[in-house]
Chains A and B, each alone.
Chain A
């Protein structure tokens, strides 16, 4: 067998890397592996996740587009507009594709509160697009708070009757990446895992364990203060922000070790409480983001 590695085969890093690269190149030539198509759909939201994605490093966005996927549709980033853009979306459905969705699905008035384009002279609603594209996708990534559970779009009083993507695709398996916005690494890392090894291991809420397994509280650099009952009384204090309303103890994600904006800092590192943006139910369930009347100490009960 040609592909088998028989001893004595060199096991240095260079040799292994060389074998991997040449195998990959051969497979590309023989078309046994190929870049996958990605459709990035923006529904009822603020485009915050795509902005966050542009801040990605290792891999950065350019590498993502050149080497990881063929981006077939993304209304924020594509040159086409109007019906020609939607035409590209429709054409992309003929091939296999990975679907990434950010933003919630607005249900009110049969989806009319969120129109993402027009097709054959008629408005195309986010609801229609989510159902149509979701049914055919090989994999679905729900990106950000709104797509995973409704998020800010579904916050009270929810005038557009927004829901998470799963609500309109109840039978489809999807990977959920909550966060407001999602960290570029959470999205790109999950996408890379999907391309290289298939679906990543997830928890019972469909979040990839490689990013969402640890409570912020358990890796917080200020944990010693919590354990000793030393609490910050105002923003800017360097101690535990629990009494101000920090949601680190109920939020599972790797912010303390990963950090943001090119891995340089994160909310608690900047003396402001975690607002639990990567927790289901954000923002209503995580409110109030800040409280001062809980930190005051009035003597004598």
Chain B
């Protein structure tokens, strides 16, 4: 469980940094530095929040095979992957397997992003996941609701911006 050791080291480091920042803030005379230090404190705190959630989850799920694990060396590639969360929360893992899934317009209509459902939209026959896309807060985008075919809307607002589609995770095809 080098993984957990690294996480706890990271938390310790963040706590040390936060303590230092609090000390700096308490002695600060030049107020122009204040927003930056507060921002760093905030970032540190949210990282600690995230890591502690992760640790708690880890403790819940992998409790039973804890004793047998420690002696087995973990390849460093794996370690890096699981240690740091991705920059943008894209729900790719469960989706990549169902890349070739097909949707009828009726099935698509159930993926509204509400009540725990993912938010899907179709453009040019391809169904994309916009659940955690930043332009789709609350599964809505400039008055459009998730769960529909927006081929025409995309063409009228984002003509020549195919790159937008290229960044979206594909979940299947519309039939």
Asked if A and B bind, the verdict is: yes
Give the docked Cα–Cα distance between A226 and B81 (Å).
19
Known contacts: A221-B42, A228-B85, A229-B132. The answer to whether A249 contacts B118 by CB under 8 A is no
A188 beta carbon closer than 8 Å to chain B: no
Q: Is B147 an interface residue (CB 8 A)?
A: no
The reply to whether A249 and B135 form a contact with Cβ atoms under 8 Å apart is yes
Contact A296-B46, Cβ < 8 Å, known A229-B132, A288-B138, A291-B138: no
In the bound complex, how far is the Cα of B84 from the Cα of A228, in angstroms? 10
Complex interface: chain B residues within 8 A of A230 (CB): 46, 49-50, 53
**Do A227 and B88 have beta carbons less than 8 Å apart?**
yes
Residue of B nearest to A229 (CB): B89
Comparing A2-10, A177-185, A279-287, the segment that makes contact with chain B is: A279-287
Chain A contacts for B33, CB-based, 8 A: none
Q: CB of B69 within 8 A of chain A?
A: no
Give the Cβ gap from A80 to chain B, nearest Cβ, in Å.
43
A window 207-252: CB within 8 A of B: 217, 221-222, 224-230, 239, 242-250
Which of B2-10, B18-26, B59-67, B109-117 lines the interface with chain A? Answer: B109-117
- A222 CA to B47 CA, complexed, in Å: 11
Q: Are A294 and B42 in contact (CB under 8 A)?
A: no
Contacts of A247 in B (CB 8 A): 137
Size of the chain B interface, CB-CB below 8 angstroms: 29
Q: Is the CB of B46 within 8 A of A293?
A: no
A224-B42 CB under 8 A given contacts A296-B115, A296-B116, A301-B117: yes
B87 near A: Cβ within 8 Å?
yes
* A29 is an interface residue with CB less than 8 A from chain B: no
0/1 interface trace, chain B 122-149, chain A, CB 8 Å (1 if under): 0000000000101101111111000000
**B140–A221 CB distance below 8 A:** no
- Chain A nearest CB from B33 CB (Å) reads 15
Query: Is residue A1 contacting chain B, with contact meaning CB distance below 8 A?
Result: no
Q: For the complex, give the distance between the alpha carbons of A296 and B87 in Å.
A: 23
CA distance A225 to B116 in the complex (A): 19
Q: Which residues does chain A contribute within 8 Å of B87, judged by CB atoms?
A: 227
Q: How many A-B residue pairs have CB under 8 A?
A: 86
For B118, what are the chain A residues with a Cβ–Cβ distance below 8 Å? 301
Nearest Cβ distance between residue A214 and chain B, in whole angstroms?
Answer: 14
A221 and B134 CA atoms in complex are apart in Å by: 16
Residue from A221, A249, A281 within 8 A of B137 (CB atoms): A249
Could you tell me if A242 and B39 are in contact, using CB atoms closer than 8 angstroms? Answer: no
Of residues 258 through 301 on chain A, the ones whose CB sits less than 8 Å from some CB of chain B are: 273, 281, 284-288, 290-291, 293-294, 296-299, 301
Q: Knowing A221-B39, A229-B89, A298-B116 are in contact, say whether A285-B143 is a contact too (CB < 8 A).
A: yes
Give the docked Cα–Cα distance between A16 and B55 (Å): 59
Which B residue sits closest to A283, measured CB to CB? B143
Known A221-B39, A221-B42, A224-B46; judge A294-B138 contact (CB<8 A): yes
- Given known pairs A221-B39, A228-B89, A250-B135, the reply for A245 and B49 (CB within 8 Å) is no
A219 smallest CB distance to B (angstroms): 9
Residues 76-115 of B contacting A (Cβ, < 8 Å): 85, 87-89, 113-115
B116, A299: Cβ atoms closer than 8 Å: yes
Contact A293 B140, beta carbon cutoff 8 Å: no
What is the chain B residue whose CB lies nearest that of A247? B137
| A228 lies within 8 A of B50 (CB) | yes
Which of A229, A244, A297, A299 makes the CB contact (< 8 A) with B138?
A244
- Supplied contacts A248-B137, A298-B115, 7 more A-B pairs, CB within 8 Å: A224-B42, A224-B46, A227-B89, A250-B134, A257-B35, A294-B139, A296-B116
Instruction: Pull 11 A–B residue pairs with CB atoms less than 8 Å apart, ordered by A.
Output: A227-B85, A227-B89, A229-B85, A229-B89, A242-B138, A246-B138, A250-B134, A250-B142, A291-B138, A296-B114, A296-B115
4 smallest beta-carbon distances between A and B, as pairs: A245-B138, A229-B89, A298-B116, A249-B134
| A positions within 8 Å CB-CB of B | 217, 221-222, 224-230, 239, 242-250, 257, 273, 281, 284-288, 290-291, 293-294, 296-299, 301
B-side interface residues toward A, CB under 8 Å? 35, 39, 42-43, 46-47, 49-50, 53, 85, 87-89, 113-118, 132, 134-135, 137-143
